[in-house]
Every structure is written in structure tokens, then in C-alpha cells.
Structure 1
């Protein structure tokens, strides 16, 4: 574990991601996990050991692969947490394509948060992901059961000019609380956006939210803008980008292998051990840049994503598009303080 990007951490985590399976029914072109897909499901014993390292009042995300391909484990995990009377916030991150009426009913009864990956309307979504119609049907099946969802979109050149259409879709489906935005974690230059596109795309997205919230009386939140609002309103001074940079996060694969971040699974230098044998928690060191020191948002900004910098081979180089995303969200937040 002699890596300059790592430092010692504590024995338990506040943020845990369990890969219920490494199987997936999609092959998204930008997927950072595609090299780790296979046909392995996590067993309940491994899942229990993973949950036992999570602090009370911590966050558990069930992911993969496509976690609903191992739906029995999802249900068993929820039962295990309930049997322990643990105060844990549980959510599932899914592509939504497998959610029929029966599964939607079961998800409702689990009382967990639901995040659905969707990059835009069907045609735009299918450029990188496929099965957009099935994903939308899954969301509507959840709606019929009274289940609210959050959408998560990966920003690429395919959807940056059409993010406002994702807002339209969110309002149309009526059970979308928020939209989260994730910049590309890939070396595929053909899909990357530039900072001007980010500024314009997020502005247009926000303008559509404002227009539709005025018309409907309901507001779909943009996760990154809401985060910026909280930081401004509380004069929050950022210390770390994420739980992984605090040494408070872990990702567990179906075999029980442990990594700092889902984006870094399979990279030997970020392997922490195995939950079934031995492991040592570590933290990713945040990356700091001289260019940030004169920025008015410097003390509140979360800096850049360490794992994205590693994946994009840009460790030590400021990501202009990530900086643009932070700045435009802070700017919008300042303009719309309550």
C-alpha cells in the first residue's frame, strides 16, 4: 500500500457501496466498471460482513453491475439491517430496465431510496446506454407504486446540449425528485465536453427547471446546485471532496474485495484487501491546485474528484470542465438564494 495517493484511515466507514453482482444487462460505452463485469453474485454472508463495517447513521448504496439481477440479495440485505435495528440510509442505483410492476411493488415495501441512471430522452440515452424505453417504463412502474426516484446522468457530448430535455422528462414522469450530474470518468476523448459547453448546458438546464417549476408548482432539484446552495448558506468550508478522501468509504465487490471507490475497482494500487479475510482502510488524498487559490469559491468548493483525475490520467492537472461545473453551480446558487 505504498502509494502517494493513499493515507491511513479509521476502522469503520460512513459510506459503503456493495456490488450485489458484477453482471449487467447493459454495456454502456463509458462504463468505468465494464472491465470488471462477469457472472458473479455476492452471497449474503459477504454482504453481512460488509455491512458490519458501516457506522450507524451511515449510507449504504447497493450497486453493481446491475444490482436488480441479484434482487434476492437486495431484499436479504434490507431484512438483515432491519433485524439489527440499524439506523442506516439504504439506496439502490439501477439502470431501471428490469423494474416491472411486481418488482416495483417489492421495492416500495423495502422503503429504500432509488436512483436510476438515465442520460436523456430515449434517442439521446441510447447513444451510450441503450434500453431507454425500458428504463422509462421502470420509472413509471415505480410511480404507480408511489415510489419517488432520483435520476443520474453522465455528461457527455451526446447530451450536454439536451440536458434541458432530461428536465422535461423528469417533470413528465412526476415521480422524480432530483437529477444528479456526473462528468465522464473515461479516457474517451470523443465523448468529453469542454468548459463552455458545461456552462451553457447547465444554464439551459436550470432555466428549464425554473420555467417548469413556475408552471407546475413543483421543483425538480439539480443535485450539484443544491449542494452549492447548502455550502453558501452555511458558509461551509470544504475539507475533502468525498468520503473516500476522508478515509470513510469502501466499495465491496461480489467476491468481497475492497476498494476505495467504485471507479477504481480492479486497480491493484487501490486494493484494500478482502472483507472475508483481512483488509486495511485507506483514504485518497485530495488533489489541490494553485489555480484555485484566487477563486472566490475556493473555500467552499469540493475540489476535483480524485478518482476521475486518476482515470483520466490527469492527476495533478486541473480539470477545466469539472471546474466549470462547480463554478456555474455556485453562480446559479448565489443568484437563487432563498
Structure 2
């Protein structure tokens, strides 16, 4: 029996108009686009449990297939499925038609942006077009979030990212993805941050968020800190992602399925197809969420730590895997300081706002 799917990832295409220094897309000839039949069958699998699920449109660069984005949104609405829909894009191809589509179907938008334009240009390319895309979202009043890949090449300027995106009213928050060492990253041109670099970079980044949120009506949220806060509030250990619970399903354009987006295209992680999924293999990432560092037993956030991305634990060395500990511990220590928090609530109290 297929496990409950709470997170469905649709790789609409393996094509991309950029060449990121750490891209992990499989290089298997000419890019292919997903058929509507694969979209429909993937939605059927996710809807089988009758429970709410989230659909993440990804790739490659999904905006290369705008008609498929529209079809997916229309299919969810037509079938009245209990789901939300989001798209992760590099932002370089955001036309007025796409932005209208996002608004019409309440599609959540994530923009991949690793830092200020020079860093973005160096690591991904197309920086000017990405900024132009962000400006179009802002002009249209479409909410969006930023996802930044954190590497040694970007951590030194990470504090500039909130200062830039904080000027956009409709930017809702920032998510930090530690670099996964696979694909192009194996060539050594870009590496995960060092522990010291990560700690210092996060401290500077956090101060920038505090500064920006003092001047915004709606504060920038930090995904990683929100994870910790929710787990602490519920007094329970959380998990990094649905894949760590066997509740994730990633689908390639040809209909083959994998436990999560980062394993997509890896033969060793193939789990059949949307027509004949291997339910046992889809749960292979379960129980791999904890970094298992030597200091876990004495860590002050161990009771509510969400652990590490299970697939990143597979691809990164033990030294790199423990970077997540540095990230969570640093953010939590900064959160506990009495001089404010990145969601702006303490800043508001300090300024005489609502308690």
C-alpha cells in the first residue's frame, strides 16, 4: 500500500536556462518535459489517502513549461483536491502571464537567490534577470519567499541578502539550504561552508534581519528558526521534511518516482513509476534525519531539533552533515538573546506596539 503522500514534487522539466555551480540535475541528454498524463497520475497518487498534501513544482527550471504549470493548477482546482501549490524558480522568466497565473490560483512562489547580484551571477548566472523577475512580482503584489543555497562562496555576503530582499514589501521570508555535495559540486568549484564561517556568517545575517524588520510592516520570516520555534512550542521532536517520514514523492518528467527531490534521477534511489510505485523503497529515507553528531546527547536544542535533510546525510561527509548543528545552535542562541527576534514581535514590544 502506498504511504500517505503529504509532499509531491513535480519536476516538470530537466531543462534549465542557467548553469548553477552546484546543480545536481541528472545530465541525460536532451531535456524532457513532463506529460499531462504523468501530472494527472502523480496527483492521483498523492490524493489517494484523502489527506491534505502540498505540490511543489520544480525542475530544472519549471517556468520553461508555463503551460504545464497552468495545467497542474487547473487540475488541482478542477478535481477539488485538498492541496496547496508552489513553484520554485530562478525568477529569470517571470512574464506577466505567469504572474497572473500565480495570482489566479494562489500559487506560492519561491525564488532561488544566494546573495547580492555579484554572488548570484557567480554561482548561478542571470542575476539581472532574477532581480527583474523579483521586481515584477513586487509590482504585481505577489508574495514570494527566497531560498538561498549556503556555501563557503556565499556565506561571507549572506548578511547582504536581507538588506536587499527586505526592500521588497511582498518578500515574506528567507530559507537557508546548506549545500549538498553532489552533481557539479563534486567538481570542487564550490564547497559547503566551514563551521566557523557559517557561525560568523549567520550572526551577521541575523543582525541584518533584525535591522530590516525594524523598518517593515510585515517582518521577514526565517524558515529554519520557525522550524525550531514550532517544535519547541509543541514540546515534541520535529522532523526535517516529509521525506524523513516516508511521506514525500518526487516525480521526474518520464514518470519515474523517487523519495525526494535531491535523489531524483539517481538510479540507486528509483522507486518505480507513478503507475507502479515501489512503496517499500519510497520509505528508504525514513529514520535518516538526525546528524548523529558526537554532541547530540548534550545539545541544548536536542529535544526539538528537526535534524538534517536525510538525503544530504547521504551525499555529504559526516563533517559537512554536522553543519546543520552549527546552523540550528547559532540561530537558537541568537533567538534567545533579549534584544529582539527576526519575526519582529519583540521589536514591536520595544517600540510600544502590541504585546
Q: Shift of residue 105 of structure 1? A: 2.1
The answer to whether the 8 Å contact 1:246/1:283 transfers is no
| Alpha-carbon distance, 1:278 to partner | 4.2
TM-score by length of structure 2 reads 0.86
Distance across 2 between alignment mates of 1:31 and 1:323? 24
What secondary structure does 1:230 align onto? Answer: helix
Residue-pair matches, total: 327
2:215 aligned counterpart, secondary structure: helix
Asked if structure 1 preserves the Cα contact closer than 8 Å seen for 2:257 and 2:277, the reply is no
The corresponding residue for 1:253 is: 252
Higher relative contact order (CA 8 A, sep 6+): 1
Shift of 1:52: 1.2
Q: CA deviation at 1:58?
A: 0.8
Shift of 1:36: 5.3
Q: Cα offset for 1:226? A: 1.7
| Conserved 8 A contact 1:27-1:34 | no
Write the deviation string for residues 70-107 of structure 1: whole angstroms up to 9, x where unpaired.
11011111111101111201100011100023322232
Q: Which runs of 5+ in 2 are unaligned?
A: 346-355
Give, in whole Å, the separation in 2 of the partners of 1:318 and 1:220. 27
* CA separation of 1:171 and 1:317: change in aligned 2, threshold 3 A: closer
Q: Deviations over 1:254-280 (max 9, x none)?
A: 000000111112222211101134432
How high is the TM-score relative to the length of structure 1?
0.91
One of 35, 40, 44 as aligned partner of 2:36:
44
By how many angstroms is 1:28 displaced?
0.4
Measure, in 2, the Cα distance between the counterparts of 1:175 and 1:86.
27
Do 2:45 and 2:274's aligned partners in 1 also have CA atoms closer than 8 Å? no
Seen in structure 2, the aligned counterparts of structure 1 residues 290 and 199 have a Cα distance that, compared at 3 Å, is closer
Change (3 A) 1:119 1:317: closer
Which of 185, 188, 193 is the equivalent residue of 2:180? 185
> SS of the counterpart of 1:90?
strand
Query: Mean alpha-carbon deviation: is it higher for 324-333 or for 132-141?
Result: 324-333
Q: Give the deviation of 1:108 after TM superposition.
A: 1.7
Query: Partners of 2:73 and 2:95 in 1: how far apart?
Result: 20
| Cα distance in structure 1, aligned partners of 2:219 and 2:277 | 46
Q: Structure 1 residues 279-288 or 150-159, which shifts more?
A: 279-288
Alignment partner of 1:132 is 2:132: no
Determine if contact 1:119/1:125 at 8 Å carries over to the other structure: yes
Higher strand share: 1
Task: Say if 1:168 and 1:141 are closer, same or farther in 2 by CA, change over 3 A.
Answer: same
Q: Which among 306, 309, 317 is matched to residue 310 of structure 2?
A: 306
Q: Distance in 1 between matches of 2:102 and 2:215?
A: 31
Give yes or no for contact 2:248–2:259 (8 Å, CA) kept in 1: yes
1:264 is the counterpart of 2:263: yes
What is the aligned partner in structure 1 of residue 71 from structure 2? 76
Give runs of aligned pairs for residues 307-326 of structure 1, distance below 5 A: 307-312=311-316, 314=317, 319-326=321-328
1:317 Cα deviation from its structure 2 partner: 5.9
Cα-Cα RMSD: 2.0
> Aligned partners of 1:64, 1:27: CA distance in 2, in Å?
13
Q: Distance in 1 between matches of 2:314 and 2:299?
A: 23
Change (3 A) 1:82 1:163: same
Q: Which residue of 2 aligns with 1:333?
A: 335
Q: CA deviation at 1:203?
A: 1.3
Segments of structure 1 that go 5 or more residues without pairing to the other structure are: 1-8
Give the match for residue 349 of structure 2.
none
User: Do structure 1's residue 230 and structure 2's residue 233 form an aligned pair?
Assistant: no
